[in-house]
């Protein structure tokens, strides 16, 4: 797989799916029928090489350890810095030999800034996917399964941490390493947690509409989806799992993928998945 300058997109058809999990967390219930319009979403999480184009073009701060996120306690600071070290960009340069790995150490605000830049490049409104869009995409067109491939965990299909004692020996993997789901999307489970657009509310599934639900307009917690390479609780890898975090969060296990709704007038070699040279 070659490094590509811009993300590749997959079209997700309009349709209805069953969102949530009856056997999941309380904030994943009740399971409900949700309809989303046609949209496009990145085939993979945004890579370091793709994010580097954004950094070079805009001067945006490169991924590094800045003010520590509020979820990191003083006692955990040393471990956080140690685990983050391989993902820090030195002198503005991406980590060596990690161009095809998903970018990490990015906040929600960083992800939104990248979307704005990419939208300018493509001439359309690129954004983060909503929770509903993300879950529809993750399920790959099949309802009711815990994971994109079925109900049983499978380490051959996802990059996660089967043994928490192996954390310092593991890490991100190049995007596309594991099989795609039914929509042709890679890494919807594992590798990196992915930012979505929505603010978190625990009663979303009881109060929000059932057509293109977009979450509340404000809140105190943001949402990540999909689990990551450091996830050892396999129930957090489920398509329905909602991971709420403080808005200032970032980590060596957090990245994002991009989406858009309208069909942009973009070159065919981006739309059909060919690498840009």
Which structural domain, as residue segments, surrounds residue 211? 9-264
Please tell me which residue, 235 or 268, carries the higher pLDDT value.
235
C-beta neighbour count of 261 within 10 angstroms: 17
Confidence of residue 262 (pLDDT cuts 50, 70, 90): confident
Cα–Cα distance measured from residue 118 to residue 168, given in angstroms and rounded to the nearest whole number: 34
In a domain, 1, yes or no: no
In a domain, 13, yes or no: yes
In a domain, 68, yes or no: yes
Domain of 232, CATH number, reads 3.90.1580.10
**Rounded to the nearest 10 degrees, how much is the dihedral formed by the CA atoms of 52, 116, 83, 146?**
-120
Confidence of residue 275 (pLDDT cuts 50, 70, 90): very low
pTM: 0.93
Alpha-carbon distance values, 137 to 9, 80, 81, 166, 170 (Å): 12, 31, 33, 30, 27
Three-state secondary structure readout of the chain? CCCCCCCCEEEECCEEEEECCCCCCHHHCCCEEEEECCEEEECCCCEHHHHHHHHHHHCCCCCCCCCCCCCCCHHHHHHHHHHHHHHCCECCECCCCCCCCECCCCCHHHHHHHHHHHHHHHCCCCECCCHHHHHHHHHCCCCCCCECCECCCCCCCCCCCCCHHHHHHCCCCCCCCCCCCCCCCCCCCCCCEEEEEEECCCCHHHHCCCECCCCCCCCCCEEEECCCCCCCCHHHHCCCCCEEECCCCCCCCEEECCEECCCCCCCHHHHCCCCCC
pLDDT surpassing 70 at residue 14: yes
- Number of domains within the chain: 1
In a domain, 39, yes or no: yes
pLDDT tens digit string along 52-108? 999 999 999 999 999 999 999 999 999 999 999 999 999 989 999 999 999 999 999
Confidence of residue 276 (pLDDT cuts 50, 70, 90): very low
Report percent pLDDT > 70 for the chain. 94
């Amino acid at each position: 797989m070659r490094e590509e300058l811009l993300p590749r997109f997959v079209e997700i058809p309009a349709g209805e799916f069953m969102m949530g999990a009856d056997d999941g967390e309380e904030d994943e219930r009740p399971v409900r029928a949700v309809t989303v319009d046609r949209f496009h979403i990145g085939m993979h999480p945004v890579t370091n090489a793709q994010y580097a184009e954004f950094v070079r073009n805009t001067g945006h701060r490169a991924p590094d350890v800045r003010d520590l996120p509020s979820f990191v306690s003083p006692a955990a600071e040393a471990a956080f810095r140690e685990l983050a070290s391989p993902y820090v960009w030195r002198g503005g340069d991406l980590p060596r030999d990690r161009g095809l790995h998903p970018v990490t150490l990015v906040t929600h605000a960083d992800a939104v800034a990248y979307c704005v830049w990419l939208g300018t490049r493509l001439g359309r409104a690129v954004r983060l996917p909503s929770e509903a869009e993300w879950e529809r995409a993750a399920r790959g067109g099949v309802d009711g399964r815990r994971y994109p491939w079925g109900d049983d965990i499978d380490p051959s299909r996802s990059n996660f941490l089967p043994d928490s004692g192996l954390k310092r020996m593991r890490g991100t993997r190049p995007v596309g390493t594991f099989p795609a789901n039914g929509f042709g999307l890679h890494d919807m489970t594992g590798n990196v947690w992915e930012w979505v657009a929505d603010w978190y509310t625990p009663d979303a599934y009881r109060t929000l509409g059932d057509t293109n639900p977009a979450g509340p307009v404000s809140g105190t917690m943001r949402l990540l989806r999909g689990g990551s390479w450091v996830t050892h609780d396999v129930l957090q890898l489920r398509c329905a799992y909602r991971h709420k975090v403080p808005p200032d969060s970032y980590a060596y296990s957090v990245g994002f993928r991009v989406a858009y709704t309208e069909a942009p007038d973009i070159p065919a070699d981006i739309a059909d998945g060919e690498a840009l040279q």
